[in-house]
Amino acid sequence: MGALIAKQPNGRYCRFSSVVVCPTHINMTCEDYLNNFTGTTKGREDAEDTLTNYLRPFHEVIKWYKPLNMSEKEFVVVLKEMCDKNPKEPRIL
């Protein structure tokens, strides 16, 4: 898989890496992602294609998480932030 982009419960977007098996970027707006906030897209068209055709359901973030590079305690904190109705600024974890 490599990575997936999912829409968080608060309406923002997150990037989940299958390499480190945890979220790497959270609370991105659509525009953040389209402007290559993650530094992982080939360009705006690539990012648009991902959001249009390859957006994954949020439950996959929970399903694929493993406590290898992020503790369960840290993951719970991050999950709460991704569900917060008043999201904070986008950030890299």
Q: Residue 37: its pLDDT value, please?
A: 87
Higher pLDDT, 17 or 37: 17
- Model's pTM, two decimal places? 0.93
> For residues 22 and 1, what is the distance between their CA atoms, to the nearest angstrom?
13
Confidence of residue 1 (pLDDT cuts 50, 70, 90): low
Q: What is the mean pLDDT of the chain?
A: 95
DSSP conformation letters of 4-35: EEEE-TTS-EEEEETTTTEEEEEEE-HHHHHT
Q: Which two tokens stand for residue 76?
A: 């719970």
| Domain of 76, in residue numbers | 3-92
Quote the number of domains for the chain.
1
Task: Give the model confidence (pLDDT) of 20-60 as tens digits.
Answer: 999 999 999 999 999 998 988 889 999 999 999 999 999 99
